[in-house]
A and B are shown apart, each in its own frame.
Chain A
Amino acid sequence: MIELAGLTKRYGEKVAVDRLTFTVRPGIVTGFLGPNGAGKSTTMRMLLGLDHPTAGDVRIDGLHYDQLKDPMTYIGALLDAKAMHGGRSAFNHLLCLAQSNGIPRARVHEVLDTVGLTAVAGKKAKGFSLGMGQRLGIAGALLGDPQILMFDEPVNGLDPEGIHWIRNLMKGLAAQGRTVFVSSHLMSEMALTADHLVVIGQGRLLADTSMADFIRANSRSYVRLRSPQQERLRDVLHEAGITVVEAGNGTLEVDGVGADRLGELAAGAGLVLHELSPQQASLEEAFMQLTAESVEYHAHSDPASSPPGAGPGAPSGGVSGPAPGWGEQWNQQQARKNEGA
């Protein structure tokens, strides 16, 4: 169990982590989601006592990190796979870590086997590919057979097979009752692995919710309509008691009514339809809307990207367009919180 209470980190004027309070529970994979620069890595470094918090507190099983005796047996972490001396062999890298925490040498062989690096155990780490380095880092995290595992963007740069392996590893660890805390900036990745979600943006907590709730709240489906007789179509639908939202580019969007009924209504009124299509907004879009206001580094080159503040969504060119006001609840909630603060 990891508990954060008002955890804050300032670098000079910049607030990297802003009063984060949440708990990471055992037995599930908790996804820690946020755009680049949101403060995920900084939070994880504070958790390991590497960075000193400016304010607030973070505890592991009720203790500060430096109060843990042989900390690797409580919590194993992979922050940066490159955080090792490239001139040292994989075996010796793990051996020196094991010795510092009183972990028997035999365990080094075990974890090398688990991550599939036995054959290259004697090779220098600097010759390793990205994926091998990542596996070695994970071997280090598993070394103390800890009840808590923490990974910072573990699938970054991995090939599909590597991603698949890590996904299953994390799920397996959680299924054994362990606490798994994993960061990512990809919602789609989290949707496949995480049971619980903690979303941050610019250091602030934006959401702390179960994956199921997040999907339920955000994977709304809707129907998109286009008609040369838009005004009339809108009136017809209105008379039928259906709420219509104008989504720009001459399209209308309707929530909670099937495409068949909408088609019949249009036909009944003799209206021409150019489009009548059921849509499903992706979780990625929900995430983008949620964090839109807090994204620090916008790519200004893309004129189609949503402006901060999530107005009527501009389609991002994918199969499905975002619904207007997507994730608006979260933004509003956040705005209220900020006003209160």
Chain B
Amino acid sequence: MAATQVLRSEWTKIRSVSSTVWTLGLAVVVSIGLGILISWLASNDFDNLGAKDRMGFDATAISFAGMGLGQLAMIVFGVLVVANEYSTGMIRTSLSAVPQRGTFLFCKIAVATLLALVVGLITAFIAFFAGQSVMGEHKASIGDAGVLRAVIGAGLYMTLIAVFSMGVAAMLRSPMLSLGILMPFFFLISNILGNVSATEKIGQFLPDQAGLKIMEVVSPVDDDTPYGPWGGFGIMALWVVAALIGGYVLLKKRDA
């Protein structure tokens, strides 16, 4: 089975369903729109901040604040790309056409990842420039140290969130179950675990908490995170690899 054939087929699949457009569209709109709003509010609030908070003011990271919500749409995208095969019954037709299950899964994920990457990067750059444009004197410049890395990193973060969701969906198969676990996890649980001091030590190794580090240009004043931007990204990437391996092993083993 030539992988190029399967890649082409998966591209046809992904571009021919409406969920691709609305999930990715929502991710772009929410991330950018909310990012602009929060950037504007934050820069207006700057004068009310204490000295410590002013020193830790990270104009770049603030312009990505909308991604906290926008990533949920990325999760839906990742889940639906994989789990819709199961919920519609298409998986049997797909695996009859491509019985090499590894080829099938990884071509599907490769196509979806590439699409998520393009959308993620576009979102990150627009969110950055639009966010800075409303922050007046507090704005960061793309040429400042670490800023370009943070912008590209934000795009990569959005991509990996989607890929992680694909891996989880490949394991769980049901779209509802996958979303029911991933959405509250990334929207609530992980935030709580990562920000409450009692659980912080473990929480900071969760995929999104670690991955968010790459969007940071200015570290918080008393930052004691044991990893840097790329270290955090690496931790997130390990989670993604683990989810993909889990999805592959189960797909290989199970009856379709």
List residues of chain A with CB under 8 Å of any chain B CB: 45, 48-52, 65-66, 68-72, 77, 79-80, 82-89, 92, 95-102, 140
The answer to whether B95 touches A49, judged by C-beta atoms less than 8 angstroms apart, is yes
The answer to whether A72 touches B18, judged by C-beta atoms less than 8 angstroms apart, is no
The answer to whether B99 touches A65, judged by C-beta atoms less than 8 angstroms apart, is yes
Separation of A83 and B96 alpha carbons in the complex (Å): 11
Q: A50-B95, A83-B93, A85-B17 are in contact. Are A66 and B12 (CB under 8 A)?
A: no
Separation of A132 and B167 alpha carbons in the complex (Å): 34
Q: A69-B1, A87-B17, A88-B16 are in contact. Are A96 and B9 (CB under 8 A)?
A: yes
Q: Which residues of B contact A82 (CB under 8 A)?
A: 89
Q: List 17 A–B pairs whose Cβ atoms lie within 8 Å, in order of A's numbering.
A: A49-B96, A50-B95, A71-B97, A77-B96, A83-B91, A85-B85, A85-B90, A87-B17, A96-B9, A96-B10, A97-B9, A97-B93, A100-B1, A100-B5, A100-B9, A102-B2, A102-B5
Q: A83-B90, A97-B9, A100-B6 are in contact. Are A89 and B99 (CB under 8 A)?
A: no
Q: A85-B84, A96-B10 are in contact. Are A66 and B99 (CB under 8 A)?
A: yes
Separation of A79 and B84 alpha carbons in the complex (Å): 18
Q: Which residues of B contact A88 (CB under 8 A)?
A: 13, 16-17
Candidate in A86, A99, A102 with the most chain B CB atoms within 10 angstroms: A99
Contact with A along B78-113 (1 / 0, CB 8 A): 000000110011111111111110000000000000
Q: Which residues of B14-37 have CB atoms within 8 Å of chain A's CB atoms?
A: 16-19
The answer to whether A97 touches B97, judged by C-beta atoms less than 8 angstroms apart, is yes
Separation of A96 and B19 alpha carbons in the complex (Å): 17
The answer to whether A66 touches B13, judged by C-beta atoms less than 8 angstroms apart, is no
Q: Which residues of A contact B10 (CB under 8 A)?
A: 96
Q: Which residues of A contact B256 (CB under 8 A)?
A: 45, 50-51
Across the interface, name the chain B residue whose C-beta is closest to A47.
Answer: B96
**Does B255 belong to the interface (CB within 8 Å)?**
yes
Closest 8 CB pairs of A and B: A100-B9, A92-B16, A66-B99, A83-B89, A99-B9, A96-B12, A51-B255, A50-B256
Separation of A68 and B85 alpha carbons in the complex (Å): 23
**Does B54 belong to the interface (CB within 8 Å)?**
no
**Does B201 belong to the interface (CB within 8 Å)?**
no
Shortest distance in angstroms between B15's beta carbon and chain A's nearest beta carbon?
Answer: 8
Contact with A along B97-134 (1 / 0, CB 8 A): 11110000000000000000000000000000000000
Number of interface residues of B (CB under 8 A): 30
Candidate in B6, B19, B95, B100 with the most chain A CB atoms within 10 angstroms: B95
SS class of chain A's interface: helix, strand, loop or mixed? loop
The answer to whether B92 touches A83, judged by C-beta atoms less than 8 angstroms apart, is yes
Shortest distance in angstroms between B204's beta carbon and chain A's nearest beta carbon?
Answer: 39
Candidate in B6, B12, B19, B95 with the most chain A CB atoms within 10 angstroms: B12
The answer to whether B96 touches A84, judged by C-beta atoms less than 8 angstroms apart, is no
Q: Which residues of B contact A96 (CB under 8 A)?
A: 9-10, 12-13, 16
Separation of A50 and B84 alpha carbons in the complex (Å): 17
The answer to whether A71 touches B99, judged by C-beta atoms less than 8 angstroms apart, is yes
The answer to whether B5 touches A87, judged by C-beta atoms less than 8 angstroms apart, is no
Q: A96-B12, A99-B12, A100-B9 are in contact. Are A71 and B96 (CB under 8 A)?
A: yes
Separation of A100 and B103 alpha carbons in the complex (Å): 11
Q: Which residues of A contact B94 (CB under 8 A)?
A: 100
Q: Which residues of A contact B1 (CB under 8 A)?
A: 69-70, 100
The answer to whether B89 touches A80, judged by C-beta atoms less than 8 angstroms apart, is yes
Across the interface, name the chain B residue whose C-beta is closest to A75.
Answer: B96
Separation of A87 and B100 alpha carbons in the complex (Å): 25
Separation of A101 and B95 alpha carbons in the complex (Å): 12
Q: Which residues of A contact B9 (CB under 8 A)?
A: 96-100
Shortest distance in angstroms between A69's beta carbon and chain B's nearest beta carbon?
Answer: 7
Separation of A38 and B8 alpha carbons in the complex (Å): 39
Across the interface, name the chain A residue whose C-beta is closest to B99.
Answer: A66
Which one, A50, A69, A97, contacts B92 given CB within 8 A? A50
Separation of A49 and B91 alpha carbons in the complex (Å): 12
Q: Which residues of B contact A86 (CB under 8 A)?
A: 88
Separation of A99 and B5 alpha carbons in the complex (Å): 6
The answer to whether B89 touches A84, judged by C-beta atoms less than 8 angstroms apart, is yes
Candidate in A80, A83, A84 with the most chain B CB atoms within 10 angstroms: A83
Separation of A99 and B11 alpha carbons in the complex (Å): 10
The answer to whether B255 touches A50, judged by C-beta atoms less than 8 angstroms apart, is yes
Separation of A53 and B192 alpha carbons in the complex (Å): 46
Separation of A151 and B195 alpha carbons in the complex (Å): 57
Q: Which residues of B contact A69 (CB under 8 A)?
A: 1
Shortest distance in angstroms between A49's beta carbon and chain B's nearest beta carbon?
Answer: 5
Across the interface, name the chain B residue whose C-beta is closest to A144.
Answer: B97
The answer to whether B5 touches A101, judged by C-beta atoms less than 8 angstroms apart, is yes
Separation of A86 and B84 alpha carbons in the complex (Å): 10
Across the interface, name the chain B residue whose C-beta is closest to A100.
Answer: B9
Which one, B5, B88, B98, B100, contacts A84 given CB within 8 A? B88
Q: Which residues of B contact A87 (CB under 8 A)?
A: 17-19
Shortest distance in angstroms between A114's beta carbon and chain B's nearest beta carbon?
Answer: 18
